[in-house]
Structure 1
């Protein structure tokens, strides 16, 4: 939390000082391929009065093998204390979003997602099995407010809320429960089960051929859900740098610091001694993530303002609480159209 507040203060100070010092009155513009952040960054831009934008994103994330603290761990390490350990967890997420600007200062945003997950396991006897969950996640609603847009720089804030529409009692058949289904552990649930608050501050800058941005974000969860637990808060600081190679193509690199708190409380229907993902001790951690991406943009013609983005990302550093699946690569791609 202290890092999150410090990041906000640093970003705001740099942006406001730059606004005072620079005499250039030209506004920052989104009408170029690097006018949007890498496709994995949400709430990175705003729109002019009366403008709409619709978007679709697809994200694939792979988790494979185990991590204990900062060290790699074996399945044997996990099975010393648990009956079962996961070995991999691929996740697919489809995200539909819309933005509308009732004024030049305010943009409204809504997003819904559909998630599919699989988790492969191995037990002490060497047996393997797979569980699955799929469905809609939590609905995200936000309002973005622009503080300024001048000197080829922009600063805006985001206040968002999530509606707990995603399931938190997803179940599947396991060897221990067959032929009946049993409730799945925390990472396999589709939503948080709580009304959460999302706060973000985004600074953007650009010159003739390059652009850059920085976004600090906090996801705060309050109370406990119907299963008597609360997912951990999330604090992130995203930074990116992009190069515009033509009027329709840009390339960018991204670096993110991420901290996730442990799960608070416990689900009474989960046995924390059965599998590592049912033990809240094994939740949360700190991460440094990187990404390489490109953006395509249609500057003229009938398809003007149509965009396509792609990003490949991987972690550079992971320090997890307890023992958890190790995050591997992720791929995000999507399209955006504004009018």
Structure 2
């Protein structure tokens, strides 16, 4: 994480010295004034401004990776491995509501709540199939963004926040082995972390007359153990994006993300790690690279002024997983943002 932050700061210094001397500030009042809709905490606001947002995200996982190689489902099941059950797919939907408010020109406050719906299809060693489901409100996130500078069409701001465990880590459903009773679901099917987590980010932005550039380093650090005696892995990501402003109301963007997730620490005593691969903490954590393409629509005048619609579709470029896990597939993000 430290090397990512140093890289962004160095890049910011280089770009500051390389650009023309202009007093024009970086502006959010253009279609590329916000990052691709999948990026959180990408911008700040002026004193007294509010922004409300809604995002919908669909993420799909299918097939299996052992390390970075795609493997057959039979590779994860007895007699080829120790497991009795493997997941085959896991679609997830998330609805996110957010609000930002700037009490000063330097500080912007942010809060976000989300609601998740997810299901997982399974295959057993006896060629049986079944599906489990879970849904509910996830962790609540609050943060403060601090603007270090905004001049010469550039901005650098930092973010520090906490994730409050308002989620459930005791989601249950019926499986063929437990029927008709419900049993606790494995780690990926739980709604949140169950721990108080720290989120830190730093973001650099640069605009030209028709193009813009952004980079963000972000980390989520888990603290302690949850009530089920485990802790999800820390997350680290570095996003960089460019956008082209087609006109006053439309921009197109491309994004690259590099990231890593640590293994789960600890074990839920109610889960049998030999029953299904998602109950074995050895099958957690990964490194990855993703690419996304999207657009922003921006109402720059009229009764809908400052309403923004964002869309992005992302696909994995690379994923190297600990143990054996579902492969990440497509991620679709659609959102509305309205500033006052």
Say whether the fold is shared (TM-score over 0.5).
yes
The CA deviation at 1:15 is 1.2
- Matched with 1:239 is 240
Which ranges of structure 2 fall in alignment gaps of 5 or more residues? none
Deviations 1:193-250, CA, capped at 9 Å, x for gaps: 0000000000000100000100000100011000000000000000000000010000
Cα RMSD for the two superposed structures: 0.7
TM-score by length of 1: 0.98
Deviations 1:16-36, CA, capped at 9 Å, x for gaps: 343355422210001000000
Equivalent residue of 2:247, what SS?
coil
> Residues 90 and 118 of structure 1 are in contact (CA less than 8 Å); yes or no, is this contact kept in structure 2?
yes
Q: Establish whether residue 7 from structure 1 lines up as the match of residue 8 from structure 2.
A: no
Q: Establish whether residue 82 from structure 1 lines up as the match of residue 83 from structure 2.
A: yes
Deviations 1:298-326, CA, capped at 9 Å, x for gaps: 00111110000000000000100000000
Equivalent residue of 1:18, what SS?
helix
- Matched with 2:203 is 202
- Matched with 2:175 is 174
Deviations 1:174-193, CA, capped at 9 Å, x for gaps: 00011100000000000100
Deviations 1:64-115, CA, capped at 9 Å, x for gaps: 0100101001111100220000000000000000000001000000000000
- Matched with 1:261 is 262
- Matched with 2:52 is 54
> Residues 19 and 150 of structure 1 are in contact (CA less than 8 Å); yes or no, is this contact kept in structure 2?
no
Equivalent residue of 1:243, what SS?
strand
Distance 2:217 2:295 in 1: 22
- Matched with 1:115 is 116
Distance 1:224 1:326 in 2: 27
Equivalent residue of 1:291, what SS?
strand
The CA deviation at 1:156 is 0.1
Distance 2:214 2:176 in 1: 49
Distance 1:241 1:139 in 2: 30
Distance 1:69 1:81 in 2: 17
Distance 1:187 1:150 in 2: 43
- Matched with 1:26 is 24
Deviations 1:118-168, CA, capped at 9 Å, x for gaps: 000010110000000000000000000000001110000000101001100
Deviations 1:7-52, CA, capped at 9 Å, x for gaps: 1011112213433554222100010000000000000000000000
Q: Establish whether residue 69 from structure 1 lines up as the match of residue 67 from structure 2.
A: yes
Distance 1:197 1:69 in 2: 28
> Residues 101 and 108 of structure 1 are in contact (CA less than 8 Å); yes or no, is this contact kept in structure 2?
yes
Equivalent residue of 1:245, what SS?
strand
Distance 1:330 1:18 in 2: 32
Distance 1:194 1:217 in 2: 18
What is the correspondence of 1:146-225 to structure 2 with a 5 Å cutoff? Answer: 146-225=147-226
Deviations 1:262-308, CA, capped at 9 Å, x for gaps: 00000000000000000000001100000000000000111110000
Which ranges of structure 1 fall in alignment gaps of 5 or more residues? none
Distance 1:172 1:121 in 2: 13
Between the two proteins, the alignment pairs up a number of residues equal to: 336
Deviating beyond 6 angstroms after TM superposition, the runs of 4 or more aligned structure 1 residues are none
Q: Establish whether residue 334 from structure 1 lines up as the match of residue 335 from structure 2.
A: yes
- Matched with 1:144 is 145
